Structure 1
Amino acid sequence: MQEFRIMRWEEARHLAYPIRLTVFVNEQQVPEELELDDDDPTAWHAVVLDHGKAIATGRLLRNGKIGRLAVLKEYRGLGLGSELLKTLVSYGRQEGIKQFFLHAQTSAVSFYERHGFKVIGLAFEEAGIDHIKMVLMSD
């Protein structure tokens, strides 16, 4: 059974960081020193648990920026990324956020477009990977 939970970093760190380390550092070769940042302590973190095992994560900053969306490889293709994104947006709306944005890896643009995000501006490099800014306006 899968459970989606929103939590503060103090509670989320031991669940979310191993996923981020696996996906971003090990798989995508993002330098480990770039993975944790000053935004983690103030962000809301979503964690997906499957029978108690953390399998996916993402975060939402108070300014509406969604990031660090990651699903462990063996759980990809099950719709968890979509549900995780919807969970973060829904929670943000409850907290009064009107506009959401993110820096999408260019390979994931179509995923975010399916969820109503629109490309803004030109591609840029972040942590050695091409990204592009995308925004979602609240209903």
Structure 2
Amino acid sequence: MQEIRIMQWDEAKDLAYPIRLTVFVHEQGVPEALELDTDDALAWHAVILDHGKAIATGRLLKNGKIGRLAVLKEYRGLGLGSELLKTLVSYGRQEGITQFFLHAQTTAIGFYERHGFNAIGLPFEEAGIDHIKMVLTPH
């Protein structure tokens, strides 16, 4: 049984950080020192649990920035990234956020475009990986 929970960092850290460490640091080579930042304490964190095991995570800042979307490899392709993204946007709207944006890895542009995000500006490097800013088009 899967469930999505939204929580603050003090509750989310032990669930979300191991996923981020696996995906971003071990798989993608992001320096571990860059993975945690001061925004974690300020963000809402969504965590998908599968029979109590944390398998996917993402965060939302009060300025509408979505980030740190990560799904464990064995659970990819099941729509969990989409579920996380929709949950974060929906929760943000409930909290009064009207504009959402993110820094997408350029390899994930198509994923975000399918959810209504549009790329703006030029690609840039973040943590050694090419990214581009994307904004959610209001509907």
User: Does the pair score TM above 0.5?
Assistant: yes
Match of 2:60 in 1: 60
Aligned Cα RMSD in Å?
A: 0.6
Cα distance, 1:138 vs. partner? 3.8
CA distance in 2, matches of 1:95, 1:75: 29
Partner residue in 2 for 1:2: 2
List structure 1 runs of 4+ shifted beyond 2 angstroms. none
1:87-102 correspondence to structure 2 within 5 Å: 87-102=87-102
2:103 alignment counterpart: 103
* Equivalent residues of 2:118, 2:137 under 8 A apart: no
> In 1, distance between residues paired with 2:108 and 2:96?
27
Aligned to 2:44: 44
User: Aligned with 1:23: secondary structure?
Assistant: helix
Instruction: Name the SS for the 1:39 alignment partner.
Output: helix
Mapped partners of 1:97, 1:137: distance in 2: 13
TM-score, L = length of structure 2: 0.99
Distance in 2 (CA, whole Å) between partners of 1:118 and 1:42 is: 25
Structure 1 unaligned spans of 5+: none
Count of matched residue pairs? 139
Give deviations 1:87-112, integer Å, cap 9, x for gaps. 00000000000000000000000000
**Preserved CA contact (<8 Å) 1:93 1:138:** no
Contact 1:98–1:137 (Cα < 8 Å) also in 2: no
The CA distance in 2 between the partners of 1:38 and 1:11, in whole Å, is 16
Q: Secondary structure at the match of 2:97?
A: coil
1:116 maps to 2:103? no
Partner residue in 2 for 1:24: 24
In the TM superposition, residue 121 of structure 1 has moved relative to its aligned partner by: 0.3
TM-score (norm 1): 0.99
Deviation at 1:137, TM superposition (A): 3.5
